[in-house]
A and B are shown apart, each in its own frame.
Chain A
Amino acid sequence: MSRSKKNNSIFDLIHEYLEEIKELTEELLPSERPSWDIESLTIEPLCNVSVTPNEVIVTADLPFTDPNSVKVEPVDSMTLEISAKIERRICCEDLGITHQEGEFSAFNCQTRIPVPVEMKKRKSKFKKGILEVRLPRKKGYEIKVE
């Protein structure tokens, strides 16, 4: 997190530090939380990130998805948000959740990209219910080999 505002109160600074610690903890020790959210009516899809010499490939498993509803948007330079509408009605019970009531209408997840990429040059395809996003890696500088 960036401490953008100058002359913050001590309480704001403490709050920002705590948020930063929370983010780092989430990154290092993934918390045990459900892969669905009853408030936002969303399901977190399975997602995978792989890094090749030239690009980063992000995939997500999105069954029952209308391909036209899939959205891939950068949250910041290192985070990608994937969302998609679910085509059919999926209740908690359909997923074996019998202690809560509700219906899920969308998939949503945020994925951290491990290396710098050109977010604007991303290319996506959707096949067999699986989304694939290819992001070219940012090139730094070349080292000449003599």
Chain B
Amino acid sequence: MAIPINFIEKRSIPSGTRMVCGFPDVGLVGVLASSHVISELNLVEMAYVDSDLLPPIVVLHKGLPHAPIRIFGNSNLLVIISETAIPAIGVQRLMRKFVEWGKSKNVKMIIPIGGIPVQNRQDIEEPKVFGTASNLDMIKLLEQKNVNVLKDGYMVGPQALIMRYCAEQNVHAIALLAQSFYNYPDPEASAAALKQLSNVTGISINVSKLFEKGEEIRLRAKDVMKRTQRELTKMNKGQEYDLPLYI
């Protein structure tokens, strides 16, 4: 029997918004970006995910327990954030469900944010951001907005699955992937990805705190990074370094 995945909605979910996804991945780029958007735009908790596919944990904030995967938002934006590594064993079912839930809310676009690991990250001052799209219309949008399109290669992990299921279900989606460290939290890469999010969506986000608090973020995020790395290894994340097979 399939393990249920339930979305517990605490508020009425607006229809036709954009939905940003920040799941733990290389450099925790998506998580740090989502967390920053939630704080900068004062988004409120609208829903959370309940499933036995997730580890048996709660996240305590100001003494109160919260689910590790929550959805924040306002009238025109939804942001999904996970404060724990997504277990490799449940990643496909969870990501499929996120796309289905987004579709049921008539989201106009799903935007997973993530990292793309580069070996010389230490020598890169301003990480480049690459985009992938779920359909040709979205590719055109990326080109119009001068976002570098990731033309060939492999994507592995939560963001990859979101894109695949969006393509299957004909949901508009753009993944924004910033050059990042593989296994160190990378707030600068998150800032680069958020600049492109602003460019693509027109939503203004001040990213200065990601630079000012960079060292603090790296220190506090290191344990989530370590657990994420273990799950990414199980997902064969290293395949993103592989040369693509041209047929």
Residues of the B chain whose Cβ atoms lie less than 8 Å from the Cβ of A127: 122-123
Chain A's nearest CB lies how many Å from the CB of B52? 21
Closest to A36 in B: B223
B164 interface residue (CB < 8 Å to A): no
A145 interface residue (CB < 8 Å to B): no
- Say yes or no: B122 contacts A46, CB within 8 Å: no
Residues of the B chain whose Cβ atoms lie less than 8 Å from the Cβ of A69: none
- Say yes or no: A46 contacts B226, CB within 8 Å: yes
Instruction: Jot down 15 A-B pairs with beta carbons below 8 A, ordered by A.
Output: A35-B222, A43-B219, A46-B226, A48-B183, A59-B184, A61-B222, A63-B214, A64-B219, A90-B219, A95-B219, A127-B122, A127-B123, A129-B215, A130-B122, A132-B122
Identify whether the interface residues of B are mostly helix, strand, loop, or mixed.
helix
Residues of the A chain whose Cβ atoms lie less than 8 Å from the Cβ of B220: 95-96
Closest to A64 in B: B215
Residues of the B chain whose Cβ atoms lie less than 8 Å from the Cβ of A59: 184
Contact of A46 with B215 at beta-carbon distance under 8 Å, contacts A35-B223, A61-B222, A130-B122 already known: no
Q: Scoring A residues 50 to 75 as 1 if CB is less than 8 Å from chain B, else 0, what string do you get?
A: 00000000010101100000000000
Interface residues on A, range: 10 to 19
Q: CA–CA, A130 to B122, complex, Å?
A: 8
Question: Told that A46-B183, A127-B123, A128-B122 touch, could you supply 5 new A-B pairs with CB distance under 8 A?
Answer: A35-B226, A46-B184, A61-B184, A63-B219, A127-B122
B225 interface residue (CB < 8 Å to A): yes
Interface residues on B, range: 10 to 19
Q: Which 5 A-B pairs have the closest CB atoms?
A: A63-B215, A61-B184, A63-B218, A46-B222, A63-B219
Residues of the A chain whose Cβ atoms lie less than 8 Å from the Cβ of B184: 46, 48, 59, 61, 130
Q: CA–CA, A45 to B215, complex, Å?
A: 13
Q: CA–CA, A45 to B225, complex, Å?
A: 11
Residues of the B chain whose Cβ atoms lie less than 8 Å from the Cβ of A35: 222-223, 226
Other-chain residue from B123, B214, B216, B225 in contact with A46 (beta carbon distance below 8 A): B225
Q: Scoring A residues 105 to 118 as 1 if CB is less than 8 Å from chain B, else 0, what string do you get?
A: 00000000000000
Q: CA–CA, A64 to B218, complex, Å?
A: 10
Chain B's nearest CB lies how many Å from the CB of A24? 20
Q: CA–CA, A35 to B218, complex, Å?
A: 14
Residues of the B chain whose Cβ atoms lie less than 8 Å from the Cβ of A129: 215, 218
Residues of the B chain whose Cβ atoms lie less than 8 Å from the Cβ of A90: 219
Closest to B226 in A: A46
Other-chain residue from B216, B223, B225 in contact with A63 (beta carbon distance below 8 A): B216
Closest to A60 in B: B184
Q: CA–CA, A61 to B186, complex, Å?
A: 11
| Cβ < 8 Å to A, chain B residues 190-247 | 214-216, 218-220, 222-223, 225-226
Chain B's nearest CB lies how many Å from the CB of A28? 14
